[in-house]
């Protein structure tokens, strides 16, 4: 049994003590190894050498050039395209287009720089190279693709490294 000292008054306490019996201070509790829960498969993966943080995030930035301006999405992030300024950081680019939904589509660029677009149940649809995106389905987008929100807003996709 290890003997420790109280951080408040300095009296000797035992490791299993929860409070100091002299001053009443709460003592820090360090769990024994047999008290720790067995890690899940996900936790093992996160702490393994294969975790993405150790591989690093790509320096790629996906740029979509719309008539109203560019939308840049760095690797490891996502952006909601739509007219609702409370939900979309780029809502100003779509404010004058009434046929673009408030929450129209989400573009996500993963840590390795691969991009997808997902229609969020928009009223007038999301299109990649003139093919309609099924709502709720992720569709891969790459350099040179054209995306369209509703009938009016078309953007060109480019990847900058």
HSE, side-chain direction, 13 A CA sphere, residue 34: 0
Residues 29 and 68 in one domain: no
Residues 91 and 141 in one domain: yes
The mean per-residue pLDDT over the stretch 139-158 comes to: 95
Residues 22 and 91 in one domain: no
**Is 38 a domain residue?**
no
Average pLDDT score over the chain: 84
Residues 94 and 143 in one domain: yes
Strand partners, 74: 61
Residues 67 and 4 in one domain: no
Instruction: Report pLDDT for 90.
Output: 92
**Is 119 a domain residue?**
yes
The mean per-residue pLDDT over the stretch 78-99 comes to: 93
Residue with tokens 């649809």: 125
The mean per-residue pLDDT over the stretch 112-123 comes to: 94
Residues 6+ apart with CB under 8 A from 94: 68, 81, 82, 83, 88, 100, 104, 149, 153
Distance between CA atoms of residues 7 and 27, nearest Å: 8
Instruction: Report pLDDT for 57.
Output: 76
Instruction: Report pLDDT for 79.
Output: 94
Q: How far, in Å, are 54, 58, 113, 126, 132 from residue 47 at the CA level?
A: 10, 20, 22, 38, 40
Distance between CA atoms of residues 138 and 128, nearest Å: 11
Tell me the whole-structure pTM to 2 decimals. Answer: 0.64
**Is 52 a domain residue?**
no
Residues 26 and 94 in one domain: no
**CB–CB of 61/74 below 8 Å?**
yes
Residues 77 and 12 in one domain: no
Number of domain units in the chain: 2
| Range of the structural domain that residue 28 is part of | 1-33
Residues 65 and 9 in one domain: no
Biggest CA-to-CA distance, the chain:
76
Reported as a pLDDT band with limits 50, 70 and 90, residue 30 is low
Strand partners, 79: 107
Residues 22 and 94 in one domain: no
């Amino acid at each position: 049994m290890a003997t420790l000292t109280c951080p408040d008054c300095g009296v000797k306490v035992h490791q299993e003590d929860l409070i100091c019996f002299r001053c009443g201070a709460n003592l820090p509790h360090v769990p024994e190894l047999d008290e720790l829960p067995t890690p899940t498969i996900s936790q093992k993966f996160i702490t393994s050498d294969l975790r993405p943080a150790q591989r690093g995030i790509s320096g790629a930035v996906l740029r979509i050039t719309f008539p109203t301006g560019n939308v840049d999405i760095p690797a490891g992030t996502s952006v909601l395209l739509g007219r609702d300024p409370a939900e979309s950081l780029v809502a100003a680019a779509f404010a004058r287009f009434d046929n673009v939904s408030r929450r129209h589509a989400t573009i996500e660029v993963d840590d390795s720089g691969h991009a997808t677009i997902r229609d969020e149940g928009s009223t007038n649809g999301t299109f990649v190279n003139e093919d309609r995106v099924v709502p709720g389905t992720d569709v891969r987008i790459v350099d040179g693709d054209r995306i369209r929100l509703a009938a009016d807003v078309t953007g060109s996709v480019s990847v900058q490294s």
